[in-house]
Structure 1
Amino acid sequence: MTAHPRRSFPLADRPLVPATGDNRLIDLTARPRLGLRGPGTPAWCAGHGLPFPDRINQTAEAGGITVARLGTYEILVLTDGQASLPATPLPPDAWDGYRDETWFWIRMTGPSTQAALATLTSVDLRPARVPPGRVLQTRAAGLDAVLVLHEGSVDIFADIASAEYFADVLADRCPEFGWSE
């Protein structure tokens, strides 16, 4: 999947201002990703040399690609910006979940990430409780969201139609990340 030149991204015109210290918000919405679901998903992963995480709500990585398992046969495939998604047709028993078209993708990183997440969700996301490599399907800023936890950062995915609302909430509750209004 590649970013389509005719697509619009709700946060593209909303600039990130210099953040304080090492805290950063990065809008990755235009980055390629793939949602895949169906009983053919594990075989599709194996056929492309990608890991299929052992359990739901876990991630696995290979060659710059992160595979987040969301359900029994549902995954979210993310790139690091250098790797490419497999460009082969999907098998008949797996289908596109359209995660590249329906979700925005924001990365929060920096020393204030844990404190900021505490203002956005009621889940205790301290590393001792939820280690990196985990996936949480929860609510963040009042939206249904998927959080993919990494060492020192978190990727947040939610309904792209609510991207402006989410940015407003971040600007209000997390000023240390410097999103301008």
Structure 2
Amino acid sequence: MTTERSCGDWWPSWINGRSNPSSLAGQRYGRTKFTWSSTRLSAFQCYTDPTFEPDFVTYNYDGKYYFSKSVQSWSTDMPNGYLDTPFADSADERVYTVGTSRVTHLDPGRTYYSYFRTTNGNSGSDSAKVVAQRGRRIPSWCDSTWCIFAQESVIYFNGWTLPVPGTSTMYR
């Protein structure tokens, strides 16, 4: 097995997490915004066939959840965007992810977003964290969520400090 070289700090310079009731009755949304400095994006693009996922993760250890499990709608302005599958995710942490399979198409200094909407969960509040995940496409020509494999993660809002509903920004 070969060890992948380290290219440096690849994660976004800042991430903003936000959640609120949707304008559609009975639904709620979560959104992340983020940007990279030119140095960090160059480091990120150094990896082989890199992908990026800003995982919006909610606390479900108590069985109370702000968002339902199924995503009704999603969007992103990142190129080659996709909705990640919840396959093999823990039931204790609900993960909502809209990522990009082509990090090499991102621009430094530009603010990108990912967005998802679900029906209401069984609670009016929750807590969350955002996990910046670097992945790799295998094989390199495939952009499907089933061809993307996690390589490394950096946690923002550690200790479940992102209020849901609410908004917060963290710099790293």
Which TM class, normalised by the smaller chain length? 0.3 to 0.5
Q: TM-score, normalised by structure 2?
A: 0.38
Structure with bigger helix share is: 1
